[in-house]
Structure 1
Amino acid sequence: MARVALVGVAIIAALCIQHSWAVQYDVGGSQGWEATTDFKTWVSGKQFKVGDTLVFKYGSLHTLDEVDKAGYDSCSTANAISSASDGNTVVKLTTAGKRYFICGTAGHCPGGMKLEVDSLAALATAPVAPPALAPSVGAPTIPSSPTPSDGAPTSATISPSSPSDSAPSAAKIPSSGAAVPSTSRTSPSPAGSPSQRNGATVNGISGVALAGAAMVAFLML
């Protein structure tokens, strides 16, 4: 749709340019289509082209007859192409080439009331090429974060294994032949106690404390 609209605009612009170049000529200038006008001088230096307009203004004593080359040379309206007597005749130059006009009133054409117009072809207007449509540039697609599939491995939850409910007994330390009995007691923690919930870290600290207590007791013996 955008390309069709651009072509339409280009065509309208070309027509407007051609129309703006068209010129309207008042034949004979301020004197008009009259017997006293020097039409050879008036037409000299003018360059008529297709699309221009000739306006003939004259009184009731005159007519406007378009004739061929033979009628122009002989001032004869016998084979006139067209005739007008309205006093304000507009003639549009629609084709390139020569056109001939005379006054049909007796004696006026031989007296110089005649006009030869040579129309040139209108300047060719180069077609206006519509501008190329730029490819549509959309916003860059931002890839979404991959969603782990149902089969993707999830983070493993590491639960420390529960240590034995029984605290380790103190190691036997050899002395002068006598074995020192263990002074540690096994104090099982009830299910759900804080020691079980805290895991291996709490039980490890308890074991170290018991071992230290056994060492102190041995030294005091």
Structure 2
Amino acid sequence: MAIMVASMQFHGTKAQTRHIVGDALGWTIPPGGAVAYTTWASLQTFTVGDILVFNFTNGQHDVAEVSADAYGPCTANNPISLSTTTPTSLTLTTAGSHYYICTFTSHCQIGQKLTINVSAAATTAPPSTTPTPPASPPTTMPTPPSATPTPPASPPTTMPTPPSATPTMPASPPKSTLATPTAAPCPPTAPTSSPSSGPSSPPTVVNTDGITTPPPSGGAPSLSAMVPVSFLIIGLAFL
């Protein structure tokens, strides 16, 4: 663990760069104007964590970091930072543009000013001490069988023929032949007996068929012969 920390500190120290502003010229009024510091800055690469070193004569110069609005007109009011002691070392902590001037009278106007662009620090990941596990082989999951059984084929359905809605009329029964009533035979006319002193001749009985039946011999008709005649007369009366 101590070796790893020392290695990381070594890499961090090696990443920092010290920039001597103006190199041999130092931080002073440039003879050629502000272009001297502009040319020097264009040849440098500034990264967060780098250090700017300003070398100047105490009491004759100073270094102040100002905003972009104050840099153009060389305004020294409310600087971001101000150092009057040489050498001044300033660590670049943020990325972007940074502006520096000398606050002594007219020094900024005649060229003692510097602007730089700082890039973000590149991060270097320390080597990992944990071995990388081997990649596991791809696992092929078997396809589960379908839980829904295949329904058997339905047999063809034969629809029964519905019975006819019209009922079959039964055959008409044969007409019955009505018997024509036969006229009842006319009752025989009872013989009229006229009183006579002597024996009278028996009456002649005429049948319904027009046949004359002689009376039985032996006098008056018997009672048995008169009963059918009485029934016949009663039947004709109902008709």
Q: TM-score, normalised by structure 1?
A: 0.54
Task: Check if 1:22 corresponds to 2:21.
Answer: no
Task: Compare relative contact order (CA 8 Å, sep 6+) and give the higher one, 1 or 2.
Answer: 1
Distance in 2 between the 1:10 and 1:95 partners?
Answer: 27
Report the count of equivalent residues. 128
Task: Check if 1:87 corresponds to 2:81.
Answer: no
Aligned CA RMSD, in angstroms, stands at 2.0
Displacement of 1:41 in angstroms is 1.2
- 2:101 corresponds in structure 1 to 102
Distance in 2 between the 1:33 and 1:80 partners?
Answer: 18
**Contact 1:63–1:84 at 8 Å: present in 2 too?**
yes
Task: Check if 1:40 corresponds to 2:38.
Answer: yes
Distance in 2 between the 1:49 and 1:127 partners?
Answer: 20
SS state at 1:10 partner? helix
**Contact 1:10–1:130 at 8 Å: present in 2 too?**
no
- What CA deviation, in whole Å up to 9, does each residue of 1:55-110 have, x standing for no partner? 10111211111101011111001121111111211101112121110000111111
Q: What percent of counterpart residues are identical?
A: 32
SS state at 1:74 partner? coil
SS state at 2:14 partner? helix
Distance in 1 between the 2:83 and 2:70 partners?
Answer: 16
Q: Which residues in structure 2 correspond to 1:110-189 (within 5 Å)?
A: 110-132=109-131
Greater Rg over alpha carbons, structure: 2
Distance in 1 between the 2:126 and 2:5 partners?
Answer: 8
**Contact 1:18–1:125 at 8 Å: present in 2 too?**
no
Q: TM-score, normalised by structure 2?
A: 0.50
Q: Which runs of 5+ in 1 are unaligned?
A: 134-221
